[in-house]
Amino acid sequence: MNFSHRLLLLCSLVGTFGLTSTFVHSRRVDAADTCQTPALSRFQRHQVQNGETLESIAQRYNLTTTTLVNMNPAVSNGQVTVGSELQIPPYNGIVVEIPSGQTWRQVAEKYQVRADTLFEINGCQPDPRIVFVPAGNVSPNPLIRQSSPPTDTQAISISGYPLESVATVLMPYGWQIHPTTGEAFFHSGMDLLAPVGSSVQAIAPGTIVFAEQQGSYGQLVIINHSGGLQSRYAHLNEIQVAVGEQVNQGDLLGTVGTTGEPTFTEPHLHFEMRSSSDLGWVAKDPQGYLQD
């Protein structure tokens, strides 16, 4: 089967099943806070109407014409036929079948996409055989609807500490082994051991853009900082700030708790740093932003 026929088959599977049935495992490795509904399950169908062009359809869905052509091999010479149906992905990218003997991590490396981003966009599937590889113009993580990514992207350096005193790191950032299930998963932040009720404070000045319950994060506070940076404070017991509030370094955000679905039974603060990019809010190693 040649490449165009295989791509047509993949796109047909997307339209028919949303691709969820093509994954070897449908469950998530971990109740990862940032995991989205798999991109392959979010494809839409668009029936071409009279007067529409490939360009106008792409503009309607905030996509490039290249993406539409890649997703719809039947489109030839950039022309669409009235009454035909197009597969519309949630954002720009391509569908990739993982070659036998390779893993999605190797696919991420090949297409120069961060491994954690590819993992999250595909629903945190542990062993997918087909993945959606994003290109530019990917929408930000839908977790944050109250605020657009900061427009001030001048490189800056921020540092601070989210607790009143230095804490033991229960789990660092990066690929880890789940202490309960024994399975590998990507940890998008670091877990800092602290008693319930301990004060949680802002590591740098910024604006509160999220302050409420959010899935496995539990009680969550998110701060947007200048320079396109963001900090997240999860599993809180209490939240003592509100959306839109301006905070300074060291201001009280809430207290340590055990809400949501913590990885460990010991009370801790789950702390993340993220940066704004075309792929949304991309997780960064928090260690580089912590100042004891």
Identify the structural domains of the chain with CATH numbers, from first to last. 3-134 (3.10.350.10), 169-289 (2.70.70.10)
3-state DSSP assignment of residue 236:
strand
Task: Reply yes or no on whether the pLDDT at 154 is more than 50.
Answer: no
Would the pTM count as exceeding 0.75? Answer: no
Q: What is the DSSP string of 57-114?
A: HHHHTT--HHHHHHH-TT-BTTB--TT-EEEE-SSSEEEEEPPTT--HHHHHHHTT--
Could you report the per-residue pLDDT of 21-74, keeping only the tens digit for each? 333 233 333 334 456 788 888 899 999 999 888 888 888 888 888 888 888 877
Structural contact between residues 13 and 22, judged by C-beta atoms closer than 8 angstroms: yes
Could you report the per-residue pLDDT of 103-150, keeping only the tens digit for each? 888 888 888 888 878 888 888 888 888 999 888 534 333 333 333 444
Which letter, b or e, does each residue of 178-215 get, where b requires 16 or more Cβ atoms within 10 Å of its Cβ?
Answer: eeeeeeebbbbbbbbbbeeebbbbbbbbbbbbbbeebe
Per-residue pLDDT, 261: 87
